[in-house]
Structure 1
């Protein structure tokens, strides 16, 4: 699955929502009639991003808690879209007022992609391309493997599973992740001093 956007908030009173776009081809992914899968969890989604910068607990989704028990539709069909001040506004079939639109706030929007599909930019990667890759430092030291890509409001992070089973969060920016070779199954990182130790100690204290 590929995450193509996140619903930020309702816009107006007629069912429009503002979408934070996570795709280079929004007019294609959000074309009228497109069916998008819906999930409340940002951590389980797949997304192509450039290297730039059911329990009782709420699910954290990019800056907003989605309360447990809040029912989201399994999918939404795009009715129409428009751009407003650089932001994508979307109307979905069946979402006709602000209350319905607001109930979607924080939801991740996903599409199915073929495993062979590649991002158009060589500096971009889909999450499924990165998950499982070996992580090494610029000096060649083994660090672990990519467990998942976490998409945050400020920046994306690589969750790296360390040999002891704990995880370190590595900012997914070119200064810290200078090289990715999917064919070789390797991610090279140049972590600032103490970055991995900080996360290791944080895990051990829990």
Structure 2
């Protein structure tokens, strides 16, 4: 079964079993909704801890969650640094021209003339649009905005993205 990251537990919050989560999903309200089934993968462990979300609220830049059966800080302290994942069956169908991060990361980026720029290694949210970190085989990474003027074609099956190389984009 494939697992996909949706967040990381970075700390506890208060004494009533809340954990502070840094989300790595575009859909935190959906992923962390009450009743959602999640798997927490701890460092150095291959076996996930399965939990069900009991509550979810936003606080500053974090999502605060509680889990059924984990009523206080002592229960959740051991979950710190855990990576929260969902199984492939939890993924929902996206609209046309929408992609999951795991579909984009790892794609080769080519110019319209076929020149290879590098591979998408990270996606950053900026508010206006996502920015893809494209790492070449050698040299410094490039930052490509995910906008129509730049990204011309995405082929998820072939793991290839075609961009229009605008002036100053790779400097």
Short-chain TM bin: 0.5 to 0.7
Which residue matches 1:192? 170
Is the Cα contact below 8 Å between 2:110 and 2:116 reproduced in 1? yes
Q: Equivalent residues in 2 for 1:14-163 (5 A)?
A: 14-39=16-41, 69=44, 74-85=48-59, 87-113=62-88, 117-120=92-95, 122=97, 124-137=98-111, 140-146=114-120, 149-150=121-122, 158=133, 160=135, 162=137
TM-score normalised by structure 1 residue count: 0.55
Q: In 1, Cα distance between the equivalents of 2:140 and 2:87?
A: 29
Is the Cα contact below 8 Å between 2:40 and 2:50 reproduced in 1? yes
Which residue matches 1:199? none
Please report how far the alpha carbon of residue 128 of structure 1 lies from its aligned counterpart in structure 2 after TM superposition.
3.5
TM-score normalised by structure 2 residue count: 0.63
Q: How many residue pairs end up in the alignment?
A: 158
Residues 188, 151 of structure 1: alpha-carbon distance in 2 compared, 3 angstrom cutoff: closer
Of structures 1 and 2, the one scoring higher in RCO (CA 8 A, sep 6+) is: 1
Residues 74, 170 of structure 1: alpha-carbon distance in 2 compared, 3 angstrom cutoff: farther
